[in-house]
Chain A
Amino acid sequence: MSMLVLENVHTHYGKIEALHGVSVEVNRGEIVSLIGANGAGKTTLLMTVCGTPQASSGRIILQGRDITHEPTAQIMRSGLAIVPEGRRIFSGLTVEENLHMGGFFNTKSEIRKSQAHVYELFPRLKERENQRAGTMSGGEQQMLAIGRALMSRPNMMILDEPSLGLAPLVIKQIFEIIGQLRDEGITVFLVEQNAHQALNLADRGYVLETGKIRLHDTGKNLLENPDVQNAYLGG
């Protein structure tokens, strides 16, 4: 059953069309990776799912509900969570407060439960509970961003370039965590420039080029596809 469906979605920034009819399907419990070069429209695609900017035509369906014209705030409260590009944690707040912001619309007992769960996944965050989030390393901040997204107990999580600017060892750790999320039943939609690792982990993958889906296959097949190897995996 599909979790998220994009049907022939077009998105405009003013008069410029950034997405020229994109169709993507993410099934429940899958990890789906979207790869593409700079400026291909990856982030635009994610932002369109979140409703900022809204799609100018086409349909977006989340868990069977048409969200194409819903405001961002409403979409983000319906079982979807995003880890935005560049982490965007609240650097002036402590780690714990950041997590609490993630569970803004939940009850206290729910927050307590999800917080314990996040600390289980990231023992590192527990150690830094009372530290200002801005003073942590990039990898820890990325963990916090994922943890904060988990606080709302989402069914689906969108990650925008979680490996951006991190050391290889930390990237490995982050990807392990993403795999773990799937094992917990969270559907993952992953956008990455780090194509090799993203496709390795993914059940299926999409290749976005200048606002259009160019290829679409299982992660394994895409890794072996000579075109993909040439363009995204360094030949």
Chain B
Amino acid sequence: MAANNLRHALFCAIVTLIISFPILGLNLEAKGINITLTGAKTSTYVAIVLAAVVVFVFQIFRDSFMGVLGKLPNLNPLAGREPMEQSKRVKLESWILTGIVIFALFWPFLVSRGSVDLATLVLIYIMLALGLNVVVGLAGLLDLGYVAFYAVGAYTFALLSQYTGISFWMALPIGALLAGLTGMILGFPVLRLRGDYLAIVTLGFGEIIRILLNNWTTLTGGPNGIGGIPDPTLFGMEFGRRVKEEGNTSFHETFGIAYASEHKIIFLYLIALVLAVITALIIRRFMRMPVGRAWEALREDEIAARSLGLSRTAVKLSAFTIGAFFAGFAGTVFASKQGFISPESFVFLESAIILAIVVLGGMGSQLGVILAAIAVTILPELAREFSEYRMLIFGAAMVLMMVWRPQGLLPMRRIHIKLNRQE
């Protein structure tokens, strides 16, 4: 065992040297037309050797390190606690959710403009994560191209507003429906796929949409994106200083208050909040309906679910469509918030982040997903001072999270359905 450890540690240290020496220790310098190879400062070499020593020591004592990590949950005072009774838990959860919503309603009036803007982004991610939660958490279909539906929603609004001058409120259902339709169309070819294969095909689909948007320059403007997307209005009242569209009035004049740029931001935030709450409520409803149980049955055991007469096609398509629908919802809000969109906003990293939110939150659990969305969006902002290291911190946080709580922040506890036996 010890010899084995030593050999492994030596190997790791050597790999560290091999990797870091050429990257950090050698510099290419352009001198005229020639490129010369120069060494780095002595301190860099010392650092490389030190790093190798650290790796070596860590690998030798790895088992005890990891052992300590594994024991940490015992320090958590809540770990050994009996799970709460179902009725109590459901009640507590809805109280917490109501509390969060009420707090969220008043929050924009207390804080700075930047915070409200960030909070709107958080709400958009909550919508996205709740939608993806249906596909990945409940139906168990690993979708790596979820951002495509987000893009469909956003581009629907942007293009329609550019070519037909449609308003936000008209675009919202159209964007969501179109995204849902796209979800259904994608659903057909991937019905037979499972696991890894499904993930790869959805990943490809996400890229197809992005590349299409990038290259169809005549329609989408390509990498230049689309600007001038209108802000939402409140019953025909605009939030700008001057009214842009004929027939509209402006918010501050109607109510006789001074113009403030915050009004628009707060209004957008409130729209996003209402839509996020609606998303959560509708999906909660779905989870308790037969279709929700069918999703879970299919996730648990596809053959068994089919043997009971469930149609694989209908169940999978419904999950895909509903998930995509809410991504379209979020996309429309996003387009309106930014006022400008380009394919750059819909890269694979977005899909990965949304998926990370669902996994971190605990697959299938709504409250968990909401908390994770808040954490994942705000964490990089808080760590902005570390600038280039923030993604590193983000990654480390994820790794630690998976070691400690592989089941997510708040793993899903199923609502046990009972029939009352009277009668």
A binds B: yes
Asked whether A128 is an interface residue with its Cβ less than 8 Å from the other chain, the reply is: no
Cβ contact within 8 Å between A73 and B310: yes
- Given the interface pairs A82-B307, A88-B304, A93-B300, the reply to whether A73 lies near B312 with Cβ below 8 Å is yes
Which residue in chain B gives the minimum CB-CB distance to A158?
A: B307
Asked whether B41 is an interface residue with its Cβ less than 8 Å from the other chain, the reply is: no
Asked whether A105 is an interface residue with its Cβ less than 8 Å from the other chain, the reply is: yes
**Beta-carbon contacts of A5-25 to B below 8 Å, as 1s and 0s?**
000000000000000000000
Which residue in chain B gives the minimum CB-CB distance to A94?
A: B416
Cβ contact within 8 Å between A93 and B304: no
Measured CA separation A76–B310 after assembly (Å): 8
Q: Give the chain A neighbours of B300 by CB distance below 8 A.
A: 90-93
One of B293, B294, B303, B309 near A77 (C-beta < 8 A) = B309
Measured CA separation A109–B313 after assembly (Å): 28
Which B residues from 290 to 319 make CB contacts under 8 A with A? 290, 293-294, 296-297, 300-301, 303-314
- Given the interface pairs A90-B301, A92-B300, A101-B293, the reply to whether A152 lies near B309 with Cβ below 8 Å is yes
Q: Give the chain B neighbours of A82 by CB distance below 8 A.
A: 307
Cβ contact within 8 Å between A88 and B306: no
Most buried by A among B296, B303, B417: B303
- Given the interface pairs A90-B297, A90-B300, A90-B301, the reply to whether A108 lies near B309 with Cβ below 8 Å is no
Q: Give the chain B neighbours of A97 by CB distance below 8 A.
A: 416-417
Measured CA separation A63–B294 after assembly (Å): 27
Asked whether B419 is an interface residue with its Cβ less than 8 Å from the other chain, the reply is: yes
Cβ contact within 8 Å between B307 and A50: yes
Q: Give the chain B neighbours of A81 by CB distance below 8 A.
A: 307
- Given the interface pairs A97-B416, A104-B290, the reply to whether A112 lies near B307 with Cβ below 8 Å is no
Measured CA separation A109–B297 after assembly (Å): 22
B65 to chain A, nearest CB (A): 33
Asked whether B31 is an interface residue with its Cβ less than 8 Å from the other chain, the reply is: no
- Given the interface pairs A50-B307, A82-B307, A88-B307, the reply to whether A112 lies near B419 with Cβ below 8 Å is yes
Q: Give the chain A neighbours of B301 by CB distance below 8 A.
A: 88-90
Asked whether A100 is an interface residue with its Cβ less than 8 Å from the other chain, the reply is: yes
Which residue in chain A gives the minimum CB-CB distance to B294?
A: A104
Asked whether A130 is an interface residue with its Cβ less than 8 Å from the other chain, the reply is: yes
Most buried by B among A73, A92, A93, A97: A73
Cβ contact within 8 Å between B290 and A76: no
Asked whether B414 is an interface residue with its Cβ less than 8 Å from the other chain, the reply is: yes
Which A residues from 78 to 116 make CB contacts under 8 A with B? 81-82, 84, 88-94, 96-97, 100-102, 104-105, 108-109, 111-112, 115
Chain A interface size range: 20 to 34
Measured CA separation A112–B419 after assembly (Å): 8
Which B residues from 377 to 423 make CB contacts under 8 A with A? 414, 416-419, 421, 423
Asked whether A72 is an interface residue with its Cβ less than 8 Å from the other chain, the reply is: yes
**Beta-carbon contacts of B268-303 to A below 8 Å, as 1s and 0s?**
000000000000000000000010011011001101
Most buried by B among A94, A104, A105, A108: A104
One of A73, A90, A92, A130 near B309 (C-beta < 8 A) = A73
Measured CA separation A96–B420 after assembly (Å): 12
A185 to chain B, nearest CB (A): 21
Cβ contact within 8 Å between B304 and A84: yes
One of A50, A92, A104, A109 near B310 (C-beta < 8 A) = A104
Cβ contact within 8 Å between A90 and B307: no
A86 to chain B, nearest CB (A): 9
Q: Give the chain B neighbours of A101 by CB distance below 8 A.
A: 293, 297, 305, 308
Q: Give the chain A neighbours of B313 by CB distance below 8 A.
A: 73
- Given the interface pairs A88-B301, A90-B300, A91-B300, the reply to whether A71 lies near B311 with Cβ below 8 Å is yes
Asked whether A221 is an interface residue with its Cβ less than 8 Å from the other chain, the reply is: no
Q: Give the chain A neighbours of B308 by CB distance below 8 A.
A: 76, 101-102, 104, 148, 152
Measured CA separation A109–B421 after assembly (Å): 10
Cβ contact within 8 Å between B416 and A130: yes
Which A residues from 108 to 133 make CB contacts under 8 A with B? 108-109, 111-112, 115, 130
One of B303, B309, B419 near A104 (C-beta < 8 A) = B309
- Given the interface pairs A90-B301, A93-B414, A130-B416, the reply to whether A76 lies near B293 with Cβ below 8 Å is no
Measured CA separation A111–B421 after assembly (Å): 11
Asked whether A2 is an interface residue with its Cβ less than 8 Å from the other chain, the reply is: no
Measured CA separation A208–B311 after assembly (Å): 30
Cβ contact within 8 Å between B421 and A90: no
**Beta-carbon contacts of B212-246 to A below 8 Å, as 1s and 0s?**
00000000000000000000000000000000000
- Given the interface pairs A84-B303, A92-B300, A112-B421, the reply to whether A76 lies near B414 with Cβ below 8 Å is no
Q: Give the chain A neighbours of B314 by CB distance below 8 A.
A: 73
A106 to chain B, nearest CB (A): 10
Measured CA separation A75–B255 after assembly (Å): 64
Which A residues from 46 to 84 make CB contacts under 8 A with B? 50, 52, 71-74, 76-77, 81-82, 84
Q: Give the chain B neighbours of A111 by CB distance below 8 A.
A: 419
Which residue in chain A gives the minimum CB-CB distance to B302?
A: A88
B111 to chain A, nearest CB (A): 42
Cβ contact within 8 Å between B306 and A73: yes
A99 to chain B, nearest CB (A): 10
Knowing that A89-B304, A152-B308 touch, tell me 15 more A-B residue pairs with CB under 8 angstroms. A52-B306, A73-B314, A74-B309, A76-B306, A82-B307, A88-B304, A88-B307, A90-B297, A93-B414, A97-B417, A100-B417, A104-B290, A105-B309, A130-B416, A149-B307
14 example contacts (A-B, Cβ-Cβ < 8 A) are as follows A52-B306, A73-B310, A73-B311, A73-B314, A74-B309, A88-B304, A89-B304, A92-B414, A104-B290, A104-B294, A105-B309, A112-B419, A130-B416, A152-B308
Binding site for B on A (CB under 8 A): 50, 52, 71-74, 76-77, 81-82, 84, 88-94, 96-97, 100-102, 104-105, 108-109, 111-112, 115, 130, 148-149, 152
Sorted nearest first, the 5 A-B pairs with minimum C-beta distance are A73-B311, A76-B309, A88-B304, A77-B309, A90-B300
